[in-house]
Structure 1
Amino acid sequence: MLGPQLIILVIQAIFSGITTGPGTVAFYDPTQGGGSMLDNAGSGGGEPMNVIISGLSSPQVLTDEGILHYAQAIGFSFECLGFHLGDPQSANLGDGNGWVNQTMELRQDYGNDEIGTCLESLIGGNHFRVYRQNGTAANSGALFLAVSQEEDVEEGHQIIPDGYNIGRDKLVANALGVNTHEDVTYSTVGQNITGLLAPGSVGVNHGIATDGMTVLLTVTMI
């Protein structure tokens, strides 16, 4: 069953036209185009994409540079010294692009957006992968984030118990309201959406159950 909020968003998508492009709809449900709200973690399971940056956000935020700057405003930054460890994960957002590798991975920066993520790599913390919905079949421009809280390096950066819900909630708590980074100010509002992710652990990486909630964030530069 689709949740009432999701039904409204689907109706909006239908009336705005599936090929209208970024800036006209918040997002398209990946499952309606043969995609999934779980990415492919390469281990037989997937990580839930539990936060969406709305396609109705300021266009600058939805670029690669823009999402990095916004992430830095809410406590995340690029990986330690720019190096990525581990294989990238992929997602199918139902936009006609099929399975596409993550655009980037950003980590909690512990108050320093230059080297703080090196600390996250050692002691663990929050992080997220970014996927962009921009195929010709569903070109919303929205960014789908797979957010999770992970263990330290000695635990192999495994996801902590309840780490998908915890990671999402921490990111959202940091994001809501007004944040500023390098003289750019962002106003963020959120909406909880049910019906995109199934609650439970079926198909979820590491068998970690989730509550099935996805948070839609609309970010406006002011």
Structure 2
Amino acid sequence: MLGLELIPLGIQAIYAALTFHAVAFYDPNLTGGSMLNNAGSGGGEPLNVIISGLSSPEVLTDAGLLHYAQAIGFSFECLGIHLGDPQSANLGDGNGWVNQTIELRQDFGDDDIGTCLESLVGGNHFRVFRQNGTLANSGALFLAVSQEEDVWDGHTIIPDGYNAGRDKLVAAAIGLTYYERTTYSTVARNLTGLLPAGSTGVNHGIATDGITVLLTVTIV
């Protein structure tokens, strides 16, 4: 799919409506994928939130996801600049290891420059991977969510940062949220069995509780 700057939200919504999916997601573990991404340091970040393929189709587009993220307190990176190498994930959909679609950061109430503050003082952020290959074409968005330290502590993940980041995002998302003239209704369901609990294979050796949260987002 083309970048955000090239496809207006309205056109992406039409595209999404033509590619509507009938399942929430497919378990990557069943088809050679993993619920840990490749963080490039010998470990992976847990894919601890999934935006269901049964969500409103517009939400599952690149532009629609950004709008939804802005409704729950996230936005594009500071001045649109990304530092560091992208991470990749294998969602078991036949596409193999694919780089993140986008990375979004907590915006502290200002979706234009608020993420610059996150880059300094730390906060929540997430990476997005789309499950759309021919083996498992759910259209679901798999998020690697984590809470970061400030820049003076190297922007590493805080202790318990994967669980904490996931829980803060979910708390901001559930119920009714708004951005510009769009209202979103989000329901959450905890899933077990996708991610093992513990720190084996997890980036920075930070243990997780093994819970993945499935969000179904409906435009109302």
Check whether TM > 0.5. Answer: yes
The offset of 1:23, in angstroms, is 2.1
1:73 partnered with 2:71: yes
Answering whether residue 37 of structure 2 is matched by residue 33 of structure 1, we say no
Partner Cα distance (1:144, 1:42) in 2: 18
- What secondary structure sits across from 1:41 in the alignment? coil
Matched with 1:214 is 212
Deviations 1:130-183 (CA, angstroms, capped at 9, x unpaired): 000000000000000000000011111100000000000000000000000011
| Structure 1 equivalent of residue 194 of structure 2 | 196
Counterpart residue number, 2:11: none
**Equivalent pair of 1:79/1:107 in contact (CA under 8 Å):** yes
Q: What amino acid is aligned across from residue 149 of structure 2 in structure 1?
A: E
Considering only aligned residues, what root-mean-square deviation do their CA atoms show, in Å?
A: 0.6
Partner letter of residue 195 of structure 1?
Answer: G
Structure 1 runs (4+) greater than 4 angstroms displaced: none
- The equivalent of 1:98 in structure 2 is 96
Amino acid at match of 2:116: C
Verify: 1:51 aligned to 2:60, yes or no: no
Structure 2 match to 1:184: 182
Question: Which letter does structure 2 place at the counterpart of 1:194?
Answer: T
Structure 1 CA distance for aligned equivalents of residues 21 and 51 of structure 2: 12
In structure 2, list runs of 5 or more residues that go unmatched.
1-18
Letter in 1 for 2:56: S
Separation of aligned partners in 2, 1:59 and 1:123: 34
Task: List runs of 5+ in structure 1 lacking aligned partners.
Answer: 1-20
Alignment of 1:98-137 (within 5 A): 98-137=96-135
**1:141-180 to 2 correspondence within 5 Å?**
141-180=139-178
Q: Percent identity?
A: 80
How far apart are the structure 1 equivalents of 2:21 and 2:203? 32
Per-residue Cα deviation, 1:185-204 (whole angstroms, up to 9, x for no partner): 00000000000000000000
Q: Please say if residues 39 and 92 of structure 1, whose CA atoms lie closer than 8 Å, have aligned partners that are also in contact.
A: yes
- 8 A contact 1:177–1:188 mirrored in 2: yes
Q: Is the 8 A contact 1:40 1:89 kept in 2?
A: yes
1: CA distance between counterparts of 2:132 and 2:21? 11
* Separation of aligned partners in 2, 1:157 and 1:40: 18
Match of 2:204, SS state, is: helix
Give the Cα–Cα distance (whole angstroms) in 1 for the partners of residues 168 and 107 of structure 2.
13
SS at match of 1:160: coil
CA displacement, residues 37-79 of structure 1 (integer Å, 9 cap, x when unaligned) = 0000000000000000000000000000011000000000000
